[in-house]
Amino acid sequence: MTTTNSISPVLAANLASARKGTFTSLIIRKEGEERGAAGNKTVYGDDLVQVVIITGFRYENLVARSRDMLAAMTDAEVDALVARGYTGWQGRGAKAVEVPVTRADFDAARAELTDSFDKTLAGTNESTTDHVYEPLVVNGETVRGSRVYTGNPNGQDAATPGTVYLQGLKIGERVLDAAPNGPVPASQSAAKTVAKNVLRSRLPVARYVSYKLDTSTPGAWLLSAGGAAVAACDTNGVTLDADRVNAAVEALVG
């Protein structure tokens, strides 16, 4: 008999049986984002995708590696990013104006990212949602790479308490069925936010993903691991990124 803090003992047992560093294939429809006025909202970005991830790594290793890579970035590399001509927005609504992303924006964004990484490694980052999750536990053992939603004490739950979220480092993805309403429209982000997103996209943490495995809707997702995951990649033509695979392997250390 499986004892677990998940509402799905079968799923929990299957995740627990996978060894550390397992290639996992997941076919799932993204939740997407709602945009538009109240009462007339439209969902964008809800593609049906097949993603391939490596599970079981230590998230702290990924953060530490990202912090070190950010610190090692040279002035010339940052200047090259500025020269690409990114733009952001200043002001709100009809008064918002488009402005260039400057070196000062990149410097401020870099400092904030570094501070956030340091706080995460020290366990003092209050901006996370860790307080509504706990590690998946099966038969008294913690399953690395999975966590369980415990519920929002303030209401407005994002999922049923006990729902499992699969976490990993994405090494490949293919859209199987594009979102009916297209991708999520670009936001009018501030220049510093744009700079932060650009810097983050160049770091290993950008490939960290988390997917809700909702067991209340049969057929909502399809999970396979190991050799079955490789076969699923071949079937749907998912190409694995070698650099991402290497980064994932490094994250498994420790």
* Residues 26, 234 contacting (CB under 8 angstroms): no
> What is the tens place of the pLDDT at every residue in 44-96?
999 999 999 888 778 888 899 999 999 999 999 999 999 999 999 998 877 88
Report the alpha-carbon distance of residue 229 to residue 55 in Å, rounded.
Answer: 12
Least confident of 16-20, 60-64, 117-121, 190-194: 16-20
DSSP β-ladder status, 97-100 and 48-54? unpaired
Question: Taking the model in full, what pTM does it have?
Answer: 0.83
Contact between 139 and 3 under an 8 Å Cβ cutoff? The reply is yes
Q: What's the pLDDT at 219?
A: 83
Map out the domains of the chain as residue ranges: 9-251
The Cβ of residue 231 has, within 10 Å, a number of other Cβ atoms equal to 11
Three-class SS state of 103? helix
CA angle 232/238/239 to nearest 5° reads 130
CA-closest candidate to residue 50, choices 242, 230, 246, 247: 230
Cα separation, 115 vs 12, in Å, equals 35
Six token digits for residue 19: 């060894």
pLDDT band for position 241 (cuts 50, 70, 90)? low
